[in-house]
Structure 1
Amino acid sequence: MLDEKLLSRALLDDDKENLMKRLLLVCVLGLTPLLISGCQSAYYSAMEKVGVHKRDILVDRVEDTRDAQDEAQEQFVNALEQFRSVVNFDGGDLEAAYNKLQKEYDRSEAAANEVREHIEKVEHVAQALFDEWEDELEQYTSQGLRRESARALADTKSRYKQLRASLTRAESRMQPVLSALLDNTLYLKHNLNARAIGSLKGEFAGIKADIDRLVIDMQRSIKESDQFIKAMQH
C-alpha cells in the first residue's frame, strides 16, 4: 500500500521527533476515516519534513491505483468465467455453483471499492499539489523562473486531466457490471433449478460485453497511468 511504503521510508530517519512519527501513524493508519481526512494537511507537511513531497505521494498513489485496476480487471474476468460455468451448468450441485458465483461477486465488489478508494486518494493529493504549486508561483522574484514553473504546472495539470478522465471512464464501467452480476446472483439464489439457468443464459452476452468494455478501458487507464508516472519522474 502507498502510505505504508511512504511511512516506512519516513520512519527510517531516527533523527526525527517522536511526535512526528506519532502524527504519521495517526494520519496514515488512523483510527477512523474522519480522522484520516481531517489530518491530511498535517500528514503532507510531516512527510515533506522527512523528504517525501506531494509530487512523490502523487506518483506513488497513481502507481497504487494502476495496480488496483490491474487486479480489478482480472477479478471481473474471473467472475465472468464463473458466470459462464453457471450458464453452462450440466448437472451436479447447483447450490455449490451459486456459492462460487456469490464469492466472485463479493470479490469483484471489493476490488471495485479498492479502485475507487485509490482514485479518491489520487484526486486529493493532486489538488493539494496544484494548490501549493500555484501559491508558490507568487514567491518568485525571477520572472523567467516563474514563467518556467508556471509552464511546468500547466503541463502537469494537462497530463493529470487526461489521466483523471481515463480513470473516471474506467471506474464508471464497474458499477453496471456489478449491478448485472448482483441481479443474476440474486436470481440464481432463489431459483436453483434448470429454468433459472435458462434465464441466466439470456443475460450472459450482455454481461460479457460490459466486462469486455471494462477491461479495455482499464487497460487504457493503466497505460495512461504509466505515461503519467514516467512524465512525473523526469
Structure 2
Amino acid sequence: MHCSNLLGSRRLISFSLASALVFFGLIGSGCQTAYYETMEKLGYHKRDLMVSDVKKARDAQQDAKEQFKSALDRFTKTLNIQAGELQDKYDALNEEYQQSEKRAQAVRDRIASVENVSDALFDEWTAELKQYSNATLRQKSQKQLTQTRSQYAQLIKAMKRAEAKMDPVLAKLKDHVLFLKHNLNAQAIASLKSELTTVEGNIDSLIKDLNASIQEADSFIASMEKDNA
C-alpha cells in the first residue's frame, strides 16, 4: 500500500494520536516523512510527538519494573514449595516470565519510537536554522537546540542502559523456567536456591537502572513542556 493512498483522506487519520502512532508504526519507515507531515497538519508537531513517546517509554519502563519485581517474588516463592505443588508453581513462574518478556519488548519498542521521532525533530530543527534572517534569533534557537540535544542524550543513554539490563535478567529467568520444566522434582527446587542471590542481584540492578531512566524521562518531559509553555 502506497503512502499517498494511506494519506489521501483526512477521515483516514481522524483517529486518536495513540491510534495513529500504532497505525503508522505498522506500515514501515518508508512513510515516516508523510506521516510527520500529516500529523503536523493535524496539529501534532514533532516536539509534541517526541514528548508523547518519551512519556510512553517512561510508562513502559515503569510497567517492566513492576513486572520484574513480580517475577522475582514468584521465583522466590517457587523455591519454598512442596514437590506435589511443583507443576502449578512452574506454570505460574512461566507465566511471569512470559509477561516479563512482553513488558521488556514494550520498553524496546517505545525507546525505538523515541529515537525515530527525536531524529526527525532534530533534523528538521537543524535544517530550519538556515531559514532565519535574524542572526540573534538564529543564535538563540541554535543554543536551545544544543541544550535540548544534551538533555536528550542523557535521557536516551539512561533508557539504553536500562534496556541493556533486561536481556540478561530475562535469560536468567528463562534458564530457571526451563530447568523447572525439565526437572519437576523437589531436588531441582533445592538446587535452585543457590541461584536466588544471583537473580535477586540482577533484578535489583535492573530496577535501579529503570528508576534512573524514569527520572531522566520525567526531567526531560518537564523541560520540554516548560519550553513550550
State the TM-score, normalized to the length of structure 1.
0.88
- The answer as to whether partners of 1:71 and 1:111 remain within 8 angstroms in 2 is yes
Cα distance in 2 for partners of 1:208, 1:117 equals 26
1:73-123 superposed Cα distances (whole Å, 9 cap, x missing partner): 000000001100111113542100000000000000000000000000000
SS at match of 2:66: helix
Cα distance in 1 for partners of 2:190, 2:14 equals 55
Change beyond 3 A, Cα 1:100–1:232: same
* 1:102-117 correspondence to structure 2 within 5 Å: 102-117=94-109
Which of 60, 63, 86 is 1:94 aligned to?
Answer: 86
Equivalent in the alignment of 2:167 = 175
Ranges in structure 2 where 5+ consecutive residues have no aligned partner: 1-6
Cα distance in 2 for partners of 1:32, 1:161 equals 23
- The answer as to whether partners of 1:23 and 1:43 remain within 8 angstroms in 2 is no
Structure 2 residue 12 is the aligned partner of structure 1 residue 22: yes
* 1:1-234 correspondence to structure 2 within 5 Å: 19-22=9-12, 28-30=21-23, 33=26, 35-234=27-226
Cα distance in 2 for partners of 1:28, 1:120 equals 12
Cα distance in 1 for partners of 2:205, 2:214 equals 14
- The answer as to whether partners of 1:70 and 1:222 remain within 8 angstroms in 2 is yes
Amino acid at match of 1:168: K
- Quote the offset at 1:126 in angstroms: 0.3
In angstroms, what is the RMSD of aligned CA positions? 1.8
Ranges in structure 1 where 5+ consecutive residues have no aligned partner: 1-16
1:186-220 superposed Cα distances (whole Å, 9 cap, x missing partner): 01001001110012111111010000011111111
Cα distance in 2 for partners of 1:125, 1:72 equals 22
SS at match of 2:184: coil
- The answer as to whether partners of 1:27 and 1:40 remain within 8 angstroms in 2 is no
The percent identity for this pair of structures is 45
Cα distance in 2 for partners of 1:56, 1:32 equals 17
Amino acid at match of 1:19: S
Change beyond 3 A, Cα 1:163–1:206: same
Cα distance in 1 for partners of 2:159, 2:54 equals 10
- Quote the offset at 1:21 in angstroms: 3.5
1:161-182 superposed Cα distances (whole Å, 9 cap, x missing partner): 0001100011111000000000
Amino acid at match of 1:40: Q
Amino acid at match of 2:146: A
SS at match of 2:82: coil
- Quote the offset at 1:40 in angstroms: 1.5
